Structure 1
Amino acid sequence: MFYFTMFFQYIGQYMKTRLEYRADLVVEIVSDLLSQAINLIFILVVFGHTDFLNGWTREEIIFIYGFFLVPYALFTSFFNIWDFNERYIVKGELDRILTRPVHSLFQVILERMELESLFGAVTGLAVMFYSGSRLGLEVNWYDPLLFALFVLGGVLVYAGIFIMIACISFWADARTSIMPMMYNIGNYGRYPVDIYNKVIRFVLTWVLPFAFVGVYPAAFFLGRKEWYFYSFLTPLIGLVFFGVSVMLWNKGVKKYSGAGN
C-alpha cells in the first residue's frame, strides 16, 4: 500500500507541473502522434509496391504495428530511463535517490515518467480496430484479458532490457551510446520476424526479445496458429527479463560508490 500510495502521489505532482505549461504539453503530444503517423505512412508506402510481405498482408502488418504501439506507449510513459547514465551517475543524482527509504529503481522510474506518451496507446488501439475491421477479425470474450496480459508482458520485456542496459553504468560510469542504438533495434519488433534471416530472428526472440512486444502477441489475434506458442510465452519472457533486470539493478546499487572522487 505504501508504494501504491507513492505511485499516485508522484502522478499527482507530475500532472501539476505539466499543466503549468499547457502549450508545451500539447506540442509534445502532437509531435509524438506525428512520429507514429510517419511510421504508419512508411508501412503504407512499402505496401504500395507489394501486396504481401513474406505471406503477411498490409492489414496484418498494420495490425502488428498498432499492437506494438500499446506496450511501447506504456513503456515510454513509465520507463523513460534513456538518460540514466548522464543524469544519475555522471551528475551524481543517484546519491539523492539513495538517501530516501524507497527502492531506488521505483524512484527513478517515477521521476522520469512522461504520461503524455500514453496517447500512443490510444493511437495503437485505433490502428488495431481499423485493420481488424478490414481483416474481419472476431472478438472473443477472453480476448481483452489476453490482450492485457500480452501488453503487460511486452512492457516488461522492454523495461527489462533497458533497465539492464542502464545497469551498465554502475560498473562503467562513462557516457555510452548504447541506449539510442537499442531503441532503434527495438523497432524491429513491430515487423514479422520471419522476414529477417535466422540470426536476426534468433536475436529478436531470445537475446533481445523485442519480437514479444509486437509480432508474437499480435499473431494470436490474427489467427496465426504457427506463432501461438510464442504468443503465450510473452508474459513469461517479460517476467524473466524484468526479474533479472531488478536483480542486476540491486547488485549495481551495492556496487555504486557515489559521485565523490
Structure 2
Amino acid sequence: MFYASMFFQYAAQYMKTRLQYRADLLVEIFSDLLSQAVNFIFILVVFGHTSLLNGWTRDEIIFIYGFFLVPYAVFSAFFNIWDFNERYIVKGELDRILTRPIHSLFQIILERLELEGLFGAVTGIAVMLYAGHNLGLQWSWADPFIFLLFVAGGALIYGGVFVMLACISFWADARTSIMPMMYNIGNYGRYPVDIYNKAIRIVLTWILPFAFVGVYPAAFFLGREEWYGYAFLTPVMGVIFFAVSVLMWNQGVKQYRGAGN
C-alpha cells in the first residue's frame, strides 16, 4: 500500500507539472504519433511490392506491429532510465536517492515517469482492431485478460533488459552508447522472427527476448498454433528477466561508492 500510495502521489504531481506546459505536451504526443505513423507506412510500402512475407500477410504484420506498440508504450511510460549512467552515476544524483526510505530503483522509475507515452498504447490497440477487422478475427471473453497478461509480460521484458543495462554503470561508470543500440535491436521484435536467420531468432528469443514483446504473443490472437507455446511463455519470461534485473540492481547498489573523486 505504501508503494502504491507513492506511485499515485508521484503520478499526480507529474501530471500537474506537464499540464502547466500543455503546448509542449501536445507537441510531444504528436511527435510520438508521427513516429508510429512512419513505421506503419513503412510496412505498407513493403507490402506494396509483395503480398506475403515468409507466409505472413500484410494485415498480420500490421497486427503484430499494433500489439508491439502496447507493451512498448507501457515500458516507455515507466522505464525512462536511458540516461541513468550520466545523470545518477556520473553526476552523483544516486547519492540523493539512497538517503530516502524507499527502494532506489522504484524511486528512479517514479522520478522519470512519462505518462504521455501511454498514448502509444491507444494507437497500438487501434491498429490491432483495424488489422483484426480486416482479418476477420473472432474474440472470446478470455482474450482481453490474456491480452493484459501478455502486455504486462512484454513490458517487464523490456524493463528487465534495460534495467540490466543500467546496472552496468555500477561497475563501469564511463559513458556508453549501448542503450541507443539496444533500443534499435528491440525494434526487431515488431516483425515475425521467422523472417530472420537462425542466429538472430535465437538471440531475439532467449538472449534479448524482444520477440516475446511482439510476434509471439500476437501470434496467439492470430491463431498461429505453432507459436502458442512461446506466446504463453511471455509472462514467464517477463517475470524472470525483471526479477534478475532487480537482483542485479541490488548487487550493483552495494558496489556504488558515490561520485567523489
Separation in structure 1 between the aligned mates of residue 145 and residue 24 of structure 2, nearest angstrom? 36
Corresponding residue number in structure 1 for 2:220:
220
Separation in structure 2 between the aligned mates of residue 198 and residue 115 of structure 1, nearest angstrom? 37
Separation in structure 2 between the aligned mates of residue 157 and residue 165 of structure 1, nearest angstrom? 12
- Following TM superposition, the consecutive aligned residue runs of length 4 or more in structure 1 with deviations greater than 4 angstroms are none
Report the residue type matching 1:87 in the other structure: R
Aligned length: 261
Corresponding residue number in structure 1 for 2:203:
203
Separation in structure 1 between the aligned mates of residue 3 and residue 155 of structure 2, nearest angstrom? 19
Structure 1: stretches of 5+ with no match in the other structure? none
Alignment of 1:192 onto 2:205: no
Deviations 1:214-252 (A, max 9, x none): 000000000000000000000000000000000000000
Report the residue type matching 2:159 in the other structure: A
TM-aligned CA deviation for residue 260 of structure 1: 1.1
* Within-5 A mapping of 1:35-74: 35-74=35-74
Deviations 1:127-157 (A, max 9, x none): 0000000000000011001000000000000
Alignment of 1:257 onto 2:248: no
**SS of structure 1 residue aligned to 2:201:** helix
TM-aligned CA deviation for residue 23 of structure 1: 0.6
Separation in structure 2 between the aligned mates of residue 91 and residue 28 of structure 1, nearest angstrom? 27
Alignment of 1:14 onto 2:14: yes
TM-aligned CA deviation for residue 113 of structure 1: 1.1
TM-aligned CA deviation for residue 192 of structure 1: 0.1
Root-mean-square deviation (CA, aligned residues, Å) is 0.4
Alignment of 1:149 onto 2:144: no
Separation in structure 2 between the aligned mates of residue 16 and residue 217 of structure 1, nearest angstrom? 35
Separation in structure 2 between the aligned mates of residue 193 and residue 30 of structure 1, nearest angstrom? 30
Q: Percent identity?
A: 79
**SS of structure 2 residue aligned to 1:160:** helix
Separation in structure 2 between the aligned mates of residue 33 and residue 113 of structure 1, nearest angstrom? 19
**SS of structure 1 residue aligned to 2:241:** helix
Corresponding residue number in structure 1 for 2:34:
34
* Within-5 A mapping of 1:39-118: 39-118=39-118
Separation in structure 2 between the aligned mates of residue 209 and residue 56 of structure 1, nearest angstrom? 21
Separation in structure 2 between the aligned mates of residue 228 and residue 12 of structure 1, nearest angstrom? 39
**SS of structure 2 residue aligned to 1:20:** helix
Separation in structure 1 between the aligned mates of residue 245 and residue 17 of structure 2, nearest angstrom? 30
Report the residue type matching 2:164 in the other structure: M
